[in-house]
Chains A and B, each alone.
Chain A
Amino acid sequence: MSESIRETRSKDTLGFSGEPVIQISGMNKWFGQFHVLRDIDLTVCRGERIVICGPSGSGKSTLIRCINRLEEHQQGTIVVDNIELTDDLKQIDNVRREVGMVFQHFNLFPHLTILENCTLAPIWVRKTPKAEAEEIAMEYLTRVKIPEQADKYPGQLSGGQQQRVAIARSLCMRPKIMLFDEPTSALDPEMIKEVLDVMVDLADTGMTMLVVTHEMGFARQVAHRVIFMDDGQIVEQNEPEPFFNNPQSDRTKFFLSQIL
């Protein structure tokens, strides 16, 4: 069993060619005494789209939160866009400019309008002139299909609309990589599709995406690779078709039988 895990994991990039943009090797993380991520090796290439699934508490959210240093790892290395994540705060800020993140609970800024939510980082971090930042913001708000909400506040929008704004807000920084942490888990069933549609559109633009989600339809449709995690470890990874149709590990089989 443990042999087969190692076997599956060593197929690092599954033949997806391109320059590696995220390289994680031998990474371990603990929360106090709890070993939440165990010996993670993962390479992501530019343009690659990865869906990470697994039971709750398996460390999948923690893994992608380590990529933009919302969580700190204690062992191993993480290199994002040729920058290694260390205690160097300047480097961390540099990585965060290139990595967008969408959260389960949207985390829009409630005291700012939709437009201000989208222009804040370009103006303060990228030093973009205000007019230009607003132009970029309207472009992305149009792309997520809510330009008419620009002057409202987040509290006036539905969950699905808020999450689409959150995606637009990240895209306004023109990131090289997008991380999604269960983007549809907090939404009413009626609103899941509008958010997934936006994510599919984004996938079509060739964005590098790491998505933690249980939306298996989405995984089949857009992922180059599906990663299954359990107990802080990568248990199995494969292209979507073989992953869903012919899972190798018993743990994966059991998980898929529960959710499909």
Chain B
Amino acid sequence: MIEAMNTHNRPFVRTEHLPQSPPPVSTSGIIGWARENLFSSPLNAVLTIASFYFLYLVIPPFVQWAFIDAAWWGSSNKDCAGYDGACWAVVTARFGQFVYGFYPEAERWRPNLVLILFAINLLPILWDRVPGRTIAALFLVTGFPLVALFFIHGGLGLEVVPTPKWGGFMLNLIMAAVAIIYSLPLGILLALGRRSEFPIISRFCVLFIEFWRGVPLITVLVMASFILPFFMPDGFNFNELLRALVGLTLFSSAYMAEVVRGGLQALPKGQTEAARAIGLTYWQSIRLIIMPQALKITIPAIVNTFIGLFKDTSLVIVIGLFDLLQVAKSSVTDTNWLGLEHETYIFVALVFFVACFAMSLYSLYLERKLDTDHRD
């Protein structure tokens, strides 16, 4: 033993370079993964087995109910009488209303077209292999809303479909899209304003942000819908949906501002200094150096806010707009479809989940793509 220690303490010179060798097998592969993640201790092994047992109890009956024993088509709940499982007929029969509300059937190609145009407009913004991002982004907040309004609302030769007829998931999408594309730029301006050296600007931004953050969204919607008209001069009024949209946008821009400000605070001061020192102007340094980095680190928080906003659009139910949730509510009280709350609300939940999960996946893709740190 003493002998061995001595050899370690002797003067020593390495004569050959040790090459890299692979890690031991037990830490890699499926077995290594299971050992590390599922059975790393007796308690974890018990929890793993209990979890699998729970899933075994829950999943097969659900699959049986939702798929195997389900009725898919019909015109009232009587058509589902012979089935033990779910009665999806309520969804398939009223699908048009879930998606479009009372929007006339013959005109539904118009919102569909707008959705396609929206996707085309969004492509250069979301995917960097399509050129023209700046122009597309500018068009999205200026020209596109007018195009969308023209097609969905009508006029100039197209049959007019007034906003109370807009409804279903389409209405949720319209509200979320408008609030998202306006609240992000507005939030960025508010965040910059809050950090401004000019006291008037920063005070105004603080006041604005704190006001909208301090009020519940339902209150904002109710104020916009019922209380605002009360103070308006007689005969002067603007569209109820537009009021809700403005309320929703201002509300979420306040949240966005604080998210973006968090990103700005996280950047080292040296980035601004370096940008100014090489001669960039204030707005150039914001656009080229500060915002790309601040937005990158706040992607998870921004998408989080977007997802919250998207789900909050269903709150317009309190001011009587006919969104997806309201369609569901009226559908379960329809005498033809009584007793189908499960199917209806599972469908509504699934629609919201798919939309929100898609946003979530895109944010993960974006984070990976923008990762230039290259530090593991």
Contact = CB atoms under 8 A, between A and B. Distances in A.
A155 B373 contact: yes
Contacts of B374: 153, 155-156
B278 A100 contact: yes
B274 A111 contact: no
Given A110-B372, A155-B373, A155-B374, A103 B278 contact: no
B278 A93 contact: no
A125 interface: yes
Contact of B284 (A70, A124, A155, A169): A124
A173 interface: yes
A105 B277 CA distance: 14
A109 B271 contact: yes
Interface stretch (B79-87, B157-165, B224-232, B285-293): B285-293
A225 interface: no
B168 to A, nearest CB: 41
A70 B279 CA distance: 11
**Most chain A CB inside 10 Å of its own CB: which residue of B268, B274, B288, B289:** B274
B375 A103 contact: no
A173 B279 contact: yes
Contacts of A93: 279, 281
B276 interface: yes
Interface string A92-113: 0100110111010101111100
A96 B276 contact: yes
A109 B284 CA distance: 14
B372 A153 contact: yes
A170 B274 CA distance: 10
A111 B277 contact: no
A159 to B, nearest CB: 13
Interface string A27-56: 000000000000000000000000000000
A120 interface: yes
B126 interface: no
Given A107-B270, A107-B273, A109-B271, A121 B373 contact: no
Contacts of A111: 292-293, 296, 370, 372
Contacts of B370: 111
**Most chain A CB inside 10 Å of its own CB: which residue of B271, B278, B293:** B278
**Most chain B CB inside 10 Å of its own CB: which residue of A101, A121, A169:** A121
Nearest to B282: A89
Given A120-B288, A124-B288, A107 B280 contact: no
A68 interface: yes
Given A109-B289, A111-B293, A111-B372, A169 B281 contact: no
**Most chain A CB inside 10 Å of its own CB: which residue of B277, B281, B296, B372:** B277
A99 B277 CA distance: 8
Nearest to A101: B277
A173 B274 CA distance: 13
Interface size range on A against B: 20 to 34
Given A107-B270, A110-B373, A173 B292 contact: no
Contacts of B278: 96, 100-101, 120-121, 125, 169-170, 173
A105 B269 CA distance: 11
Given A110-B372, A155-B375, A105 B276 contact: no
Interface string A145-168: 000000001011000000000000
Interface in B240-257: none
A103 B293 contact: no
Nearest to B270: A107
Contact of A103 (B270, B289, B296, B372): B270
Contacts of A107: 268, 270-271, 273-274
Contacts of A124: 280, 284, 288
Interface in B336-358: none
Contacts of B284: 124-125
Contacts of A121: 278-280
**Most chain A CB inside 10 Å of its own CB: which residue of B270, B279, B280, B374:** B279
A40 to B, nearest CB: 20
B367 to A, nearest CB: 13
Nearest to B285: A124
A160 to B, nearest CB: 17
A115 B289 CA distance: 15
Contacts of A99: 277
Contacts of A155: 372-375
B141 to A, nearest CB: 24
Interface string B281-309: 10010001100110010000000000000
B273 A70 contact: yes
Given A110-B293, A155-B374, A96 B271 contact: no
Interface string A196-220: 0000000000000000000000000
A115 B279 CA distance: 17
4 closest A-B pairs by beta carbon, nearest first, are A107-B274, A107-B270, A121-B278, A125-B279
Interface of B: 268, 270-271, 273-281, 284, 288-289, 292-293, 296, 370, 372-375
19 contacts: A93-B279, A96-B279, A101-B274, A107-B270, A107-B271, A109-B274, A109-B289, A109-B293, A110-B293, A110-B373, A111-B293, A111-B296, A111-B370, A120-B278, A121-B278, A124-B280, A124-B288, A155-B372, A156-B374
Given A110-B373, A121-B279, A121-B280, 13 more contacts: A93-B281, A96-B276, A96-B278, A100-B278, A101-B274, A103-B270, A107-B273, A109-B271, A111-B296, A124-B288, A125-B284, A170-B277, A170-B278
